[in-house]
Every structure is written in C-alpha cells, then in structure tokens.
Structure 1
Amino acid sequence: MKFDNRAEGSGLVRRRAAVGATAAVMGLSAVFGSGLMTAAHADNGATLTGIVLGVGATESQRVVSWYASANTAQVVEIAPTNKLVKGQFPEHTTTFPAAVAANKVSGGFNGHATIDGLKKNTTYSYRVGTEGNWSPTYSFKTQDFKGNFDFLFYGDPQIGSSGNVAKDGAGWADTLNVSLAANPKAELLVSGGDQVETANTETQWDAFLASDKLRQYPWAATIGNHDVGGKAYEQHFWTPNTDRSAAFYTGDANTRSGGDYWYIYKGVLFIDLNSNAYAAGADAAHIGYITDVVKNHGRDAKYTVLVYHHAIYSPADHANDSDNKQRRQDFPTAFSNLGVDLVLQGHDHSYSRSYVIKNGQKANKDEQPGAAQVVQGPGGVIYVTANSASGSKYYDLTAPDITKDPNFGPDPLNPKSHWANSVENQEHVRTYVKVQVRDDKLVVENIRSSTCAAPNAAVELGKVKWCGPDNGASAAQPVGSKVDKVVIRPYGHGDHDDQGDDHDEQAGKGHGGKSGWLK
C-alpha cells in the first residue's frame, strides 16, 4: 500500500505553527503517574506518555497525540498489521513527523502527528517515538469509507469528580469495554466534554487515558467546562480544521484551550463547538462558524451533527443556568435554518432526548412522549443529552420551573418533564449513546453500561441515595439494556410512512446538500 507522506493534511498544516506559538502548560511532573504504565523510555530519548488516537479531517486520516519529556525527532511509524513479522515493523515503514511544542511552564513537550492516506478495510499497527525509543505498538482498523456506520457518544467521564480517581477511572474503563464489546465495529468515539474534573491534574488525565481502547478507536474530543483553565485539553487532543479565533478560544496565553472544529465522516458533517465561549457575541460567532462550514461543506453531507458540552434543553441541575437560558434563545432557530439533524450535548449528567424542535418550539404538538419513531420535517432538530459514562457524578432530574425561566415550563403531555423533552431519565447507572447512521434514518439509543454494582463511584461512595429505575423503586436493569431508542426519519427521505426499520432504503435518496436549507 502507499501512504500520502504529508505530515499534515492540507487543512491542518496551516494551524501547526499557531499552536506551537501559543502552547503553554502545566508541570509535567504528574504526567508519569500510575494511570499510564506503557511509557516508552531510553536514556538517550524522551519519555512518551498519554498516547491517544484522535479523529482526522476525513475517513482516511487519524491524529495521534502524546506527551514527551524531551524535544527529540519524534514520529509516528505505521504499517498494515499483516506486514509486521513477529511484531516487528518492516524495514521501510512509513513515518509521519510530529509537531512538538514546548510546555513553557514545565519545560516538557507535547506532540501530535496526522496519519494520512489510510486505506479502507485495513488493520494498521503504529507506534510513537524514534529509533531505539519506541512506545508500545497499538492497532486500529479502518472500515468502508462510504455507507452505513455506527458511532458512540459518551457524556462527562469527569474523572476525579467523585473524589476517588481510581473508582472514576474504573467506571470509565468499564463503559469503554462494555460499549465496544457490544459494538466492536463502531467507527468513532464522540465526547460530550468534561474528560476530567480539573483541567491540569495529570493523574486524572492518566486515569481517563488508561484504556487502550483510546489508542484503538478515534476519539472525537469536545471541551467541557472542567477541561478549561489550562492547556492540558489542547495538548492531549489535536483536532482537525480548528478555528482558535478569540471568540472560540477565550482566556490568557497560559490557560487557553478549545476552538471550534469540523470534520466529515462517511457523509456526516460533524461540527464541534467550544460552548465555554459564551460571552457577548460568542453565540453569534458560533452560529457564523456553523453557517460557513455548512455553506462550504454541507453539500458533501447527508446529515449534519453538532456536538458541544452545555445542554440547552437540560433536564437536571443545569436546566436554568443563565448561560443555558441565553443559548436557548440564541441557537435553536439558527440550527433549524441551517438544516442540523442532531445535536449531542453533555454537562448535565442525566439523559434526555428532545421532541423534534423547530425554531425553538415543538414542531408537532401531537408528538407523543417517548415516541419510538419521529419524522423531522424541514428545520426539525433532535437534541440529546448524555448521562455520565463513568459513574463519577449524576444529577437528578428537576421539575420545570417557570419562575426561573418562563420559556422552559412543563410539557402539556407529561407535566413532570420540560416541554422540550420527549424523554428524561436518571437511574444513577452509567450509560452511553449509540447512533446508527443509515441512508434513510438515524437511530439513537441510550444503553446501560452498568447496574448499581461497582464500578459505579457515585453509588459506591454514597454520593446518591438510590439507584435503579423509578427513583430506585425498581430493580436495576441489566448491562446492555436500553433506556431509550428512537428512529429519526430526516427531512427529504421519502414519504415517511412510518413503516419502521424495514422502510424502503430507496426512500433515503436525495437528502444530501443540506446547505440548501439555509433560509
């Protein structure tokens, strides 16, 4: 096989210098904590830790990021796994040079390299370092570059938030194991933000990154409010097509992390926002960014999926936060006009799935709570908030309160829930969200990755008083059981005659060109 030997994709190379110029971080002394025991080291080389596989700009790219103790000539070496002989790489192996930036506070370094030119349906092996000083070898598999695929969405691991990093890390690792054992062909792992509790505490990052699953499947990072206040998020995750303009990247030079970014994967345009940037004018800047991306790339996509941390139709503790009240005014009409299909969010440590929302209102007043199938119609958007994927912290559902926000009151069809939400759920068990991308539908499922038993730090440590469905009145359901499932028939996909999952695949033709929805 033949690789494109560029160190960066054309969309990334322009931004390498900018990150090197602004990189400033915390001390590296905690980087080599007990959470990652696979560091490479040689007396004449760098110690390498925190290796993570990231999403690239397209199906044929991956980004590898890591920490290093020295600024040596580091590369990513990669080859098809079937070319290795007894675990050894062939003599003439493709390498991708790393961009290595100084951590100005500590004197350490962080590196990343973009692997480009990958072939479909191929298993690759890779390692990081330099001759005589390599990391362990890891592997990943590409799949078809067109057609159906599944991805998994994880809410707020927030390692350290229970007060016990080891228990939080165990729950997070178990969710990764459970979800990927059930879905081994999942192609992306998408973050809802808040990877850790404290931005620059590397023992928390060590526990977050401890699972080799994060070196085998691409992690599409999202920055949460607990990931800001330092450089660690940006050092651990290099993201493609990232705009770090001031509106998306606030703070001084020592604490900046974030930016808005996008990528296209098998006909889905993913746009990821730094929703921590919400000062005056920031929401308008986010909308402007989405508008430009959709205008320039929407015609290449069947679906548009937005990802950001702060859930605007939050059902729990953050339901009426002032910033979320503002976003509920700023975002929904723009998202409808831009042809967004699905919005994935975190922050509230509870699960919710909205009704079809158009221009900030329920699109069909007759849509029933918990409907198993919905039709979007033009401008219809589904908003999903993910529960905790680690069990480190859960927030209980709140009752709608019009004294705090008169525009976020009860659902006439289910007054215990907020008007926007078809489903609201909290059982104090870990869950993850599976999204199936098909030509004529999206299928969204919220799936239990734990019971009330360990590892489930918030339950183990008594941070919550009950566990299980119906506020603990019913027994916990088994791992792998579904909290919620909905089939979403997007606008433009046939006649939407509610024939279920066996609906004629030909109904899906012609949904591309989402930029044509701009009004």
Structure 2
Amino acid sequence: MKFENRTQGLGPVRRRVAVGATAAAMGITAMLGSGLATAAHAADTAKLTGIVLGVGAGESQRAVSWYSSTDTPQMVQVVPTAKLKHGEFDKHAATFPATITANKVNGGYNAHVTIDGLKKKTKYSYRVGFEGNWSPTYSFETQDFKGDFDFLFFGDPQIGASGNVAKDAAGWADTLNVALAANPKTALLVSGGDQVETANTETQWDAFLAPDKLRQYPWAATIGNHDVGGKAYEQHFWTPNTDRSAPYYNGDATTRSGGDYWYEYNDVLFIDLNSNAYANGADAAHIQYVTDVVKEHGDAAKYTVLVYHHSIYSPASHANDGDNQQRRKDFPTAFSNLGVDLVLQGHDHAYTRSYEIKNGQKANPKEQPGAAEVVQGPGGVIYVTANSASGSKYYNLTAPDTTKDPNYGPDPLNPKSHWANSVENQEHVRTYVKVQVRDDKLVVENLRSGTCAAPNAAVELGQEDWCGPDSGATAAQPVGSTVDKVVIHPYDGKGDHGKSDEHKPAADESAWLQ
C-alpha cells in the first residue's frame, strides 16, 4: 500500500456530516505517513496514561485521548492489524498528530486525536506517543457502516462511591468483561454518566480507565453530576460536535466540564446532553440544541437516541428531586415533537423501562406493565434508566409519593410503580443494557453482569442488607440472564417522524487504509 505524501482533512465521514464545522471543533489536521515523528525530541520521555478510545462524528472515525507528562509533540499511529509485522509500525501506518493542552488537574498535559477514514469491518492496531516513547499497542475493530448493529449502555460506574476504589474497579472491569464476552461485535459503549465519585480524583479515573476494553471499543462519554466538579471529564474524553456554550456547560468554563454533543452511527442520530445544566434557561437551550441537530441531520436518520445522566422518570432516591421535577415539565413534549425514539439515562442506580410516553403522558392506557412488545405511535418515546454497572452504589425503589410531586403518582395497573414506568427493578446486582438496532425495530434488554457474590462492592461491604430478585426473597439469577427485554416497533406511518431514506449515503465513502 502506498500513502500519499499530503495533508488529509477530516474528509466526508458521511455526506450529511458538516465536515467544516467538525474540523473546526477538533482543531486538528490528520496527516498520513510518519514524518511527524522527527518533530519529537528524542531526548524527551513521557508518562502516557489514561488512554481511552472514543467515538468520532461518524462510523469511519474514532477519537483517542490520553494524559502525558510532557508537551512534546505526540501522535497516534494506526495500521490495519493484518499489516502489522512483528509489532512494527512501518510504511503502512498512518500518523495523526495530537492536540496537546495543559492539564488543569494534575499539572501535566492532555492530548487527543481523531482518527479518520477507517474502513468498515476491519481490525486496526494503534499506539500513542512519539519516537522512542510509545504506549503499548492496542487494537479495535470496525463493524459494518450500514444496517443492523448493537450497542451497550452502562449506568453509573461511579468508581469510589462505595468507599473502596479497588472493589468498585473490580466490579466495573467484570461488567465490561462479561458484556463484551457475550457481545464481542458490539459497535459502541454508551455511558450513562458518573464515571467516578469525585470529579478531580485521578486515582478514581485511573481505576475507571484501567480495563483495556476501553481501548478496544469506543466509549461514548456522558457527564454525570459526580463528573462535573472540575475539568477532568473533558480532559479525559474528547467528544465530537461539542457545544460548550454557557447554557449547556453548567457554569465557569475555566473550572467545569460539560457541553452537548452529537454523532451518527449507521443511521442512528445520537445526541448527548449535559443534564447537570438545567436551571436559568438551560433546559430550553438543550431543547434548542436537539431541535437544531434534528433539523439538520434527522431526515437521514432512521432512529434518534438521546443520552443524558438525570433520569426524569426515576424510580428510586432521585424520583422527586426538584431538578427532576423540572425536567419532567421541560423535556417530554419537546422530545415527542422532535420524533425521539429512545432516551437513555442514569443517575438513579436502578433499572426502569418506561411505557410509551407522548407529550409527558402514557400514550396507550392499555399498554400492560412489562409488555414484551411495544408499537410506538407518532410522538411515542421510550425512556430507559440503567442500574449500576460496577456495584459501587445502588438505590432502592421508592413508592410513588404525590405529596412530593402530584404529577408523578402510582401506575393504575401496578400501584407500586410510578405511572410512567412499565418496569422498575432493583436486585443489588450489576447490570448493563444491550440495544439491538434493526431496520424495523429496537430491542432493549437489561442483562445481569454479576450476582450477589464478589465483585459487588456495596453488597460485599454490607451497605445493602439483601440481594437478589423480589428484595432478596428469590435467589440471585446467573450472570448473563435477562432482567427485562422489550421489542420496540417504531412509528412507521407516513412521514416516519419526518425521517426518510432520501439522504442515506453509500457506505464506506471515505477510506484511507486500502
């Protein structure tokens, strides 16, 4: 293979991605070849930590972020694994220079790169650093760039929440291992927020980022309330198409992380919101952001999926928090009007799957609790809350309390649950959510990644006095068993939420590694 000796722009990931805006947001140029290596100072050495793979603006991109102890020019080298000979990155390797900025947390530097032009269904190897100072070599594999795919959604690892970082980290690593052993071809790992307990505590970040699975599969980060107290979140995770304007950002840009962002994958439009910012017009700003992104990119998307941290239909400790009550007023009608199909949330450390919700009300009064199939009408939205993926902290389900919120009372068909929720579950075992994206349906499944046995920090440490289904009355079910599963048949009437196939591009429009 021969590389052209030229500078490569970000290129058309897909026709509908605004390349110019994306490139400006990244502030980087991708270069082919290995010439940049000579720019590094051979005498310099760097400690390279926190390497994590992230999503790009589309299927043919991946982001790589890391911390460095030096600002020496650095890069990512990438090569198809099949052309990696004896571990050497030779003429077949593409080189992408890093953007490096001073780290506001630990006095070092943080770096990021966007790898562009990836081919579908190809395994790649990469490393970060500079000549004479390289990280270990890691690998990832792209999937098909059109049609069906699966992604996994993880709620609140919140490393450090139990008070024992090592136990929390063990549970988190085990969930990733279990989930990816069962789903090795998953395309994306999607975050529900709260990666750590304390925003600027790097020992917690180190533990969260320790699993090599986070260098093999792209992590689509979401900021939670425990991530928001400093700059570490956005220093660890570069995200595409990010708007950090004040309304989306939650305060002082010099000390806090945040922002809203979006990306596309196989005709799914993902929009991620910083739900920590909700007051003083922030919710209206989020709605406008979603509106603008859907207006520009929604026509070519088969499904629209929103992701943010604070579960508006919380089943547990946060069910009637004042900020959640506000979001329940602000968001649902807008999401229905915009044709959102699925909303993924965290924060409440318990699992829920809503009924079909339209304009903040149950769309079909006859929909039964726990229904295995749901047919969405126009404006119908399903909301899912993920339980703890690490076992660091669980919240018990609460009874509906109309004295705290008269609009969030019991379900007439199941009075122990809140009216919005088809399923509410807490077993004090680790779980994750698998989403299968198919041409005519979405399949959402909550799966157990652990049992009552270790690693399960909150149970091990005696912070929970029961474990298992039915408040511990039933024995814990095996790893890999299903808590809940639903097949969602999206609205497919005329207009299909205003979406069409008209602008779908051919797959693999931009490939650089032949």
Instruction: State if a TM-score over 0.5 links the two structures.
Output: yes
Q: Is structure 2 residue 150 aligned with structure 1 residue 165?
A: no
1:274 aligns with 2:274: yes
Measured in 1, the distance between the counterparts of 2:241 and 2:258 equals: 12
- Cα shift at 1:431: 0.1
- CA shift, 1:93, in A, is 1.9
Q: Does 1:358 align with 2:343?
A: no
Q: Within 5 Å, which residues of 2 pair with 1:117-156? A: 117-156=117-156
- Show the counterpart of 2:22: 12
User: Secondary structure at the residue paired with 2:128?
Assistant: strand
Structure 2 contact 491–497 (Cα < 8 Å) conserved: no
- In the TM superposition, what are the counterparts of 1:92-491 in structure 2 within 5 Å? 92-104=92-104, 106-491=106-491
State the identity %: 79
Which whole-Å CA distance do the structure 2 matches of 1:402 and 1:513 have between them?
Answer: 37
Aligned residue for 2:77, secondary structure, equals: strand
Alpha-carbon contact 2:57-2:264 (below 8 Å) kept? yes
Contact 2:313 2:420 in 1 (8 A): yes
In structure 2, relative to structure 1, the CA distance for the partners of 1:406 and 1:302 (3 Å cut) is same
CA deviation digits over 1:172-207, x for unaligned, max 9? 000000000000000000000000000000000011
User: Residue by residue, what CA displacement relative to the aligned partner does 1:235-289 show, whole Å, maximum 9, x if unpaired?
Assistant: 0000000011100112224322110000010010000000000112000000000
Query: Gapped runs of 5+ residues in structure 2?
Result: 12-18, 29-40, 502-514
Would you identify which runs of 4 or more consecutive aligned residues in structure 1 move more than 4 Å?
1-5, 510-513
How many Å separate the matches in 1 of 2:7 and 2:215?
A: 21
Deviation at 1:107, TM superposition (A): 3.4
1:70 aligns with 2:70: yes
> Are the equivalent residues in 2 in contact too, given 1:301–1:513 (CA < 8 A)?
no
CA distance in 2, matches of 1:479, 1:381: 29
After superposition, the Cα gap between the structure-2 partners of 1:104 and 1:363, relative to the gap in structure 1 and judged at 3 Å, is: closer
Distance in 1, Cα, partners of 2:140 & 2:7: 19
Query: Helix, strand or coil for the counterpart of 1:471?
Result: helix
1:31 aligns with: none
1:38-97, CA deviations, whole angstroms, 9 ceiling, x for partnerless residues? xxx996222110000000100000000000001011000000001111111123521001
Give, in whole Å, the separation in 1 of the partners of 2:287 and 2:500: 14
Quick one: distance in 1 between partners of 2:188 and 2:98?
23
One-letter amino acid matched to 1:514: K
RMSD, aligned CA: 1.9
Amino acid at match of 1:373: E
CA contact (8 A) 2:302 2:500 kept: no
Does the 8 Å CA contact 2:42/2:131 hold for their aligned counterparts?
no
Task: Note the C-alpha offset of 1:216.
Answer: 0.2
- The structural deviation recorded for 1:209 is 0.4
1: CA distance between counterparts of 2:25 and 2:256?
15
Aligned partners of 1:7 and 1:97 also within 8 Å: no
Q: Aligned pair count?
A: 479
